[in-house]
A and B are shown apart, each in its own frame.
Chain A
Amino acid sequence: MLENLSTPELSSLLALSPSIDQIGTQERIARIQARSIKGAAKIQGLRMALSMIDLTTLEGKDTPAKVRQLCFKAQHLHDQAADLPTVAAVCVYPTMVGVAKKALGNSGIKVASVSTAFPSGQAPFEIKKLDTLYALENGADEIDMVVSRGRFLSGDYQFVYDEIAAIKELCRMSRLKVIFETGELDSLDQVRKISDLAIAAGADFIKTSTGKIQPAATFPVVLTMLGAIKDHFDKTGQMIGMKPAGGISSSKLALQHLLLVKEVLGEAWLSNEWYRFGASSLANDLLMQYQKHLTGKYQSASYFSID
């Protein structure tokens, strides 16, 4: 169990968060984007990206039938192509966890549940706990919680920290992903600060966004979070996972993100143990690119199931 930090301890921790220069961050990303990912490296990258997807449906209109369809897709991405990996997890609301768990059976695909009054996080703490417990009791392997951005922006870091630490305690063996909703945070300095805070509070993964707010998983935000993970690893030897979510819908973007991870964190993070894409439409684009490489023909969306 983590030793909870007192307010002065937390303050001194956050004082160590380095400042982030936005323009320099963009320049680093431009270097990544100028790289050329071709041939076998591309095929390998596409497969890797597929295996890292948290296939997601988070809609008010979600139903058990919809979730079951998604779970099938998770296990059978494109059976016309041989030997494809499955996605890493299916990500749903707490009410759908039981359905997903059953549909995925012993496929090895995890069930991730959003919680803590996703997406706004605007609910009493007790309710957030119940929300999480409900998901866990229904078999969630992973919890994607949202942080209280309002509290964070008002400077109540202790509140945000305590909330994460408390949810982490509920999670026990389930892995905790902490969603920052970076689109509401305004600056990379804030992104870095909240990354350091969440990691200190026990996050197993840090995640950019809910997918409900723009901008979501932009490169500067992702690079800033990777920087926090790298510094934490260098200091403690502990690996933290990363999950960009929202806005990564093309193969090209996904491959560039993977290259960013490779260069910033190292190849140890290039597995779905440590890296996930929160996405719904990315899978089909990866599949179409993959097929294109196998067949040499540009693909049509009509041949790939839309779930």
Chain B
Amino acid sequence: MMSQTNWKLEPSLESAAQIQLQAQYELFIDGKWQKPLSKNYFNSVNPADESHLAKIAWGNAEDVDLAVLAARRAYDTVWSKLSGAERGKYLFRIARLMQEKAKELAILETLDGGKPIRESRDIDIPLACNHFFYYAGWADKLQEAFAGQQVSALGVAGQITPWNFPLLMLAWKVAPALACGNTVVLKPAETTSLTALKFAEICQEAGLPAGVVNIVTGYGDTGAALVAHPDVDKIAFTGSTAVGKHIQKACIGTSKKLTLELGGKSANIILEDAPIDQAVEGVINSIFFNQGHVCCAGSRLFVQESIAERVLEKLKFRLQSIYVGHPLDKNTDIGAINSKKQLETIERYISLGLAEGAEIYQPDCTLPSKGFYCKPTLFTDVAQSARIAQEEVFGPVLTIQTFRTMEEVVQKANNSPYGLAAGVWTDKGARIFGLSQQLKAGVVWANTYNKFDPASPFGGYKESGFGREGGRHGLSAYLKFSN
């Protein structure tokens, strides 16, 4: 009989050879690639190894102005004159082209943002395509969606997307905007512009009329110029709560319609009758998905005391088969942290957790020597009043607290300025509905976590923002209503 085996998977790198990056990317305005009036460019870096990827145009207020002008012209002369059915056909076409280029988009997303190729390939890109398919079908059914009200497009939508799900967040914003008849100026996050620029190529290939989609790359100042532009009718922003508040302020006194999808510190609750192994797996999905760079990450785990020890034991064991490594490795579970800056933030929070007296657990794994990486991190013995349990870390860092009664856990879960999502694990259906009603969160995942679908509305309560993206509800953000 054979003795115990040591069996290790080998790295299985997805080839990036098929990706042909340009040395320099311009702004996509009015259907053309235009050099920025700012004459400025910034460098995009691969967070997996800190290598240089490309130079990217840094749009200023004048560039934004040109883009808004192009979007307005496209709205007035072409897009608003098309029937919903015709708009829908463009969206269907874009969706198909995205599917055809799915692999390229997935590799690009992983190169640029550091997320594991498994996630960009199996989650981000398919969901982004599906989002366009989903909203394509709404384009000619808007009146049916809102019986009793007259609906019309808003005009020019200014959209600002985050770096955690670059193409998916683009899809969440661009697809409903176009379906509802708006034209778009999109500002992607500065660390992850590449898939948005690829998307611009797809728009060209789809024959989308010039100016309907404009992509202005840049930093926060570029976004601020977009928010401040007087001819923008709608602002949709996904990002931090702090920036969201600035945007809300900037929109006061204007007629801009605003939706904000902001931060979170979501509670994931495991009751003693939960399907425990699936719950443990749910914890893995809730906090280590996309390195924890997820606004709805289940970053606060609450476990009923009677099973707390067992859950922790299982969680620690499960972490032994989580691979942290090169994002292009098909076996990587946790890839690179998106930027040096974000890695520093996470490390600061880990130090803070230690200083606050919480007990830390990190599995024994070696991190690549170059690039930005962070071990999956558990904090136990965390107090509700600890900052590590209150503030959004946006990284693979989980705080674990125990509770005795459901009343107690509901109170603790809701005891946060945020209200984006929550998870509930219990075998009892009646309890799921009861807890779901009590939890102040826009999304409740029962016996699952971090699931997304174009048909499912997503968005927060309280300081996690307002408005919904996805589903029929997601249309409201891009429509004007009259009785």
A→B interface (CB under 8 Å): 18-21, 23-25, 27-28, 31, 34-41, 44-45, 48, 51, 85, 88, 108, 227, 234, 258-259, 262-263, 267-268, 270-273
B278 to chain A: closest residue by CB: A24
A38 CB → nearest B CB, Å: 5
With an 8 A cutoff between CB atoms, is B341 at the interface? Answer: no
Q: Provided the pairs A18-B276, A34-B118, A262-B321 are in contact, do residues A24 and B448 lie with their beta carbons within 8 angstroms?
A: yes
Residue in B5, B9, B313 whose beta carbon sits within 8 Å of that of A48 in the complex: B5
A41 touches B7 (CB 8 A): yes
B282 touches A24 (CB 8 A): yes
Which residue of B is nearest A24, CB measured?
B278
> A273, B275: Cβ atoms under 8 Å?
no
Q: Which residues of B contact A227 (CB under 8 A)?
A: 277
A19-B275, A24-B282 given; A270·B331 CB < 8 A: no
User: Hey, which chain B residues are within 8 Å of A258, CB to CB?
Assistant: 7
Q: Please report the C-alpha to C-alpha distance between residue A1 and residue B2 in the assembled complex, in whole angstroms.
A: 27
- Tell me whether A234 and B313 are in contact (CB under 8 A): yes
Contact digits for B71-108, partner A, Cβ 8 Å, 1 yes 0 no: 00000000000000000000000000000000000000
> When chains A and B are docked, how far (Å) is the Cα of A149 from the Cα of B458?
45
Kindly state whether residue B10 has any CB partner on chain A within 8 Å.
Answer: yes
Which of B1, B279, B282, B427 contacts A272 (CB under 8 A)?
B1
Q: Would A19 and B282 be within 8 Å (CB), given that A38-B10, A234-B313, A271-B2 are in contact?
A: no
Residue B447 interfacial (CB < 8 Å) = yes
Between-chain CB contacts (< 8 Å), 16 pairs: A21-B275, A24-B275, A24-B278, A24-B282, A25-B277, A27-B281, A27-B285, A35-B9, A37-B9, A38-B10, A39-B10, A88-B1, A263-B321, A270-B5, A270-B7, A272-B1
B437 part of interface (Cβ distance < 8 Å): no
Cβ contact within 8 Å between A267 and B118:
no
Query: Which residues from chain A contact B448 at a C-beta distance below 8 Å?
Result: 23-24, 27
With contacts A19-B275, A27-B281, A234-B313 taken as known, whether A271 is within 8 angstroms of B4 at the C-beta atoms is yes
- The interface residues of chain A lying within 8 Å CB-to-CB of B331 are 35-36
Looking at the assembled complex, report how far the CB atom of A72 sits from the nearest CB atom of chain B, in whole angstroms.
21
* B40 CB, min distance to chain A CBs, angstroms: 41
Q: What separation, in Å, do the CA atoms of A45 and B6 have in the docked complex?
A: 10
Query: A51 CA to B8 CA in the complex, in Å?
Result: 18
**Pair A273/B2 contact, Cβ less than 8 Å:** yes
- What's the count of A-B pairs with C-beta under 8 Å? 88
Interface residues on B, range: 20 to 34
B277 touches A267 (CB 8 A): no
CA distance A50 to B6 in the complex (A): 16
Do B447 and A51 touch across chains, with their CB atoms under 8 A apart?
no
A259 to B285, CA, bound (A): 19
Alpha-carbon gap, A85 to B10, bound state (A): 22
Task: Look across to chain B and name the residue whose beta carbon is closest to the beta carbon of A108.
Answer: B1
B167-189 interface (Cβ within 8 A of A): none
Q: Are A85 and B9 in contact (CB under 8 A)?
A: no
A-B residue pairs, 5 tightest by C-beta: A24-B278, A36-B12, A21-B275, A263-B321, A36-B330
B contact residues around A262 at 8 Å (CB) = 7, 321
Give the residue name and chain of the B residue nearest to A52 (CB): B2
Report chain B residues within 8 Å CB of A273.
1-2
Complex contact A41–B10 (CB within 8 A)? yes
Flag whether B344 is at the interface (Cβ < 8 A): no
Chain B residues contacting A48 (CB-CB under 8 Å) are 2, 5, 7
Contacts of A38 in B (CB 8 A): 9-10, 12
Q: How far is the CA of A36 from the CA of B325 in the complex (A)?
A: 14
Interface of B toward A, CB cutoff 8 Å = 1-10, 12, 118, 122, 273-279, 281-282, 285, 313, 321, 330-331, 333, 427, 447-448
Determine the residue in chain A with the shortest Cβ distance to B427: A19
What residues of chain A lie closer than 8 Å to B279, measured between beta carbons? 24
Separation of A28 and B283 alpha carbons in the complex (Å): 12
> Closest CB-CB distance, A28 to chain B, in whole Å?
5
Q: Which residues from A are CB-within-8-Å of B277?
A: 18, 20, 24-25, 28, 227
Q: Which residues of A contact B278 (CB under 8 A)?
A: 20-21, 24-25, 27-28
Residues of B with C-beta under 8 A to A51: 2
Residues of B within 8 A of A44 (CB): 5, 7
Q: Given A24, A85, A88, A108, which contacts B447 in the complex, CB threshold below 8 Å?
A: A24
**Listed residue (B9, B10, B276, B281) with the most chain A CB atoms within 10 angstroms of its CB:** B9
- Closest chain A CB from B432 CB (angstroms): 12
- A268 partner residues in chain B, CB cutoff 8 A: 4
Provide the bound-state CA to CA distance between A19 and B270, in Å: 13
Known: A24-B447, A35-B331. 15 other contacts (CB 8 A): A20-B278, A21-B447, A25-B278, A28-B278, A28-B281, A34-B122, A36-B331, A41-B10, A44-B7, A48-B2, A48-B5, A263-B321, A267-B6, A270-B4, A272-B2
Q: Which residues of A contact B7 (CB under 8 A)?
A: 41, 44-45, 48, 258, 262, 267, 270
Bound-state CA distance A23–B278 (Å) is: 9
B5 touches A40 (CB 8 A): no
CA separation between A238 and B37, bound complex, in Å?
71
Instruction: Give the distance in Å from the alpha carbon of A38 to the alpha carbon of B330 in the complex.
Output: 11
A189 to chain B, nearest CB (A): 9
Q: Closest CB of chain B to A5's CB: distance in Å?
A: 22
CA–CA, A38 and B285, complex, Å: 25
B12 touches A267 (CB 8 A): no
A270 to B3, CA, bound (A): 8
Q: How far does the Cβ of B118 sit from chain A's closest Cβ, in whole Å?
A: 5
Are B4 and A36 in contact, with the CB atoms below 8 A?
A: no
- Complex CA gap A24/B286 in Å reads 13
Question: In the complex, how many angstroms separate the beta carbon of A30 from the nearest chain B beta carbon?
Answer: 8
User: Which residues on A sit within 8 Å (CB–CB) of B3?
Assistant: 271
For residue B281, which residues in chain A have a CB less than 8 angstroms away from its CB?
Answer: 24, 27-28
Complex CA distance for A88 and B1, rounded to whole angstroms? 8
List of A residues within 8 angstroms of B427 by Cβ:
19
Q: Most B CB atoms within 10 A — which of A34, A40, A262?
A: A34
Separation of A23 and B9 alpha carbons in the complex (Å)? 26
In the complex, the answer to whether A20 meets B313 with C-beta atoms within 8 Å is no
B-side contacts of A263, CB under 8 Å: 321
Q: How far is the CA of A262 from the CA of B448 in the complex (A)?
A: 24
Q: Determine the distance from Cα of A124 to Cα of B4 in the docked complex, in whole angstroms.
A: 40
A23 to B285, CA, bound (A): 14
- Compute how far the CA of A108 lies from the CA of B4 in the bound complex, rounded to whole angstroms: 18
- Of A24, A25, A108, chain B has the most CB atoms within 10 Å of the CB of A24
Point out the residue from B10, B273, B313, B333 that lies within 8 Å of A40, measured CB to CB. B10
Q: Tell me whether B447 and A267 are in contact (CB under 8 A).
A: no
Once bound together, how far apart are the Cα atoms of A230 and B447, in whole Å? Answer: 21
Set of chain B residues within 8 Å of A34, measured between Cβ atoms:
118, 122, 330
C-alpha spacing A272/B2, complex, angstroms? 6
Contact indicator B5/A267 (Cβ below 8 Å) = yes
Cβ-closest chain A residue relative to B321 = A263
